[in-house]
Amino acid sequence: MTTEEKLERLTDRVDAIAQSVELLTALHRDLEKETASRFAETLQFINRLAHVAEAHEQRIDGLEGK
């Protein structure tokens, strides 16, 4: 194998690695967005549950005469 052939082969490999990194970066960004979205939904759900629990606590306090 000549030096030129080795260099061409090496260049092809570098290009393939660069494409893989680009793909992984895009997948990572998508995953981050999805995770952030799910976390926000979970946080909203927890906040709603906290409000429900607070309302029930106030109702129980009212029934107990506190």
pLDDT class for 33, splitting at 50, 70, 90? very high
pTM: 0.64
The 3 state secondary structure assigned to 22-56 is HHHHHHHHHHHHHHHHHHHHHHHHHHHHHHHHHHH
Q: What local confidence, expressed as pLDDT, does residue 66 receive?
A: 64
Question: Looking at this protein, which amino acid is placed at residue 43?
Answer: L
Say which residue the tokens 């909203």 belong to. Answer: 44
The residue-averaged pLDDT of 36-55 equals 98
What pLDDT, on a 0 to 100 scale, did the predictor assign at position 65? 85
Residue appearing with tokens 């306090």: 61
Average pLDDT over residues 46-50: 98
Residue 12's pLDDT band, with cuts at 50, 70 and 90, is very high
Instruction: Identify the H or E element spanning 5.
Output: helix 3-64
